[in-house]
Structure 1
């Protein structure tokens, strides 16, 4: 096949329904609706610059590359500077199938096609249009294969405007978020002119400890790990690798001409964190999973999401224990009223009706040989008084449940 490829020019707005496909001088047919589906198209002399217009001279061969980020059918068209439209894909050659799997790159012509795309006049800037669709399109009104032996279809559009009009009609019945377009450019230069410099490229091989992690190079999604990204210009490139549940990884790599750079990425589990606000009626030591974190009132920040064993300890108060759950992006409040520790004190005596005083205040009366009451841990003086008996007292440093016996002696 010897002819100039891929030239489309001009601009047109095709009237359609709301948010209808639009036509621009650069992209020919444009979907105004934002889509998750993306398609890239480029030529071999400009692998990484979608705005480049590399020079090709008559007799040179050209290769066209395309890539989608989701499974899709890809249609490639070219129009030369004089308006002739050709459909490059699909075709009847070995690699002419136009269904592409996500994140795979296809080249035309393929190794088994048995032909080359050779550059020829007319001279001037050419465009390549790639139209990707999640569903197969009916192109019968635009292109037909004359026979099984015909390698390429005959296109009924005679210029860019006709191509734009017919493509707009073809995509109109399908959901608008299921198709997208992209364009590439190149120039058929006259012999004797100085060609634009051809930049030798290198490649980047990216592997990660998480299979299927998404890879971005210079902000552009290029595949999923493990993957090799070809045709990168020499120099520094930013690489970002992402995966659900893991922290993003970013770095800068240096690409060298005709060399493959290897990047092995270890993604770290994403730590989702929250806060825990602990408030108590008295100052208390705050323990989480047995580790002392501080004294209340306190807000513990940036705790990894999860459930913790909380313990609050204050001198003279009952120890408080509970399970608390920390949720990412939230502050979990814990408000606790600690209960003072109280010990059981049992005073026995041989005299029923004897009065029992604690630190000077009456606390009980001996009935059936005993009086019982609760006291907080502290130092106490306990006194037992009964008429006709000598007064007896005892000092107690109360730190546990206690039994105290008073054997009163009669006054003679």
Structure 2
């Protein structure tokens, strides 16, 4: 009898033990409405077959230099890809140099000019990276990446012997002939392109740039030149003013920056999974697969890819005239918040721009959450200080501290800091996209060769802002641009912009329940009227805000997210019954033994 009772009790125990598994299976079979989607919540996708960009980006201030942002014209949600995510067999390298603007080739192929953020390379292979800059010695190094590894190259270029772009001693005259007049001096023209020819006041006389500069002998008592012109086939002609004339035995320095003549190519972006949000140079948005035509050639462009529950992807791509460049972005899935980590970045002095894996995130001090475990590149830039770059390893569930004391810039290079009203304007330095203006902080451009540089700002519904500045070694040039709205036409503008920043950065942004990127972000071509902005960051409380957009204007949104309280683990009723039954059976056994 006692064994029958014992057998019945053990059978009851087994049934109750199986009950939680059955319940769990039923819960998994029926998802709740609050479960986050695998890819993108509420994304509507538009198949883009042709792009109609402006042919001359600088001629029309209200148009983007490439394809206009995709409008959501269909209510069909993006389908989840059936493809199982595969670990990419690639890594990324970020390349900076002092001075910046050096031409980079990777395995013999042009990759652009420094700084280059997060260029994708195949893993398991040795890659050769070369940097070249007129007047400086060539630089070469090699890198070998493991899958998903982020690494960096920080190159300090050395001046070549002889006249260089920043050399100050007076050169020995190339011709012994004595010029007409009582004394002689020299005009030295520094240029970023060797082989360029220099002329004065549209005369044929002058010199040819070699090693970053060339010198012309002049009479100190002769008629002073008023202008100088620098030109080379394939580049835009540069003309500058001569405001100082040398005294006897003196050399004056002039500076010219040649920009390639405008030509166009294309960029194709493929992603795994499909349906991810693709952003070109911070403005033009499409859903993958994305196709951009009439993209300015001869320069680098920044591609950003984002999707919910995937690590953001950033890469730079060089576009050649008449050719199409292809970007294959394999997104890395993350399971926030338990499977991600964070980095806390601080600097002395504070206010340095923070780039994570080539993407601007915030300024110091700041915490960057939601990073996938593994290596990540942290780059800091602040005007007047030397650029800093390092690689950190992120551990899931942990916060990695990065504290940096920034060093001073070398006296041979300078900086530009840029701000605009309104913010969110795209910044182009000498024709190359650099980033976007941010609220409450200057956008810093560092390690710039001294001389003339052109800063252009573009924002939809505002006129292009262009300003040429002269950078002096060791100094900071400040550009505060007040953008001028485009004069209203006969038809009222029915769209505006929204600039969104969050603390912490890197949060998912939803506009009317459609995923539109990660903070900080500028949303273009938003229909005027009331809209709902939702900002979500795993581990933080969601924030929802209603904004009103006015046609032709920019609406700023700044959101601070609070950390979510830890959810206590609840015991299921089945677990309680299991414990109770075990105690009951134990009691029966003890009672039977006493009998």
The structure where helix makes up a greater share of residues is: 2
Of structures 1 and 2, the larger Rg is shown by 1
- Is the structural similarity TM-score above 0.5? no
| TM-score under structure 1 length normalisation | 0.27
| TM-score under structure 2 length normalisation | 0.19
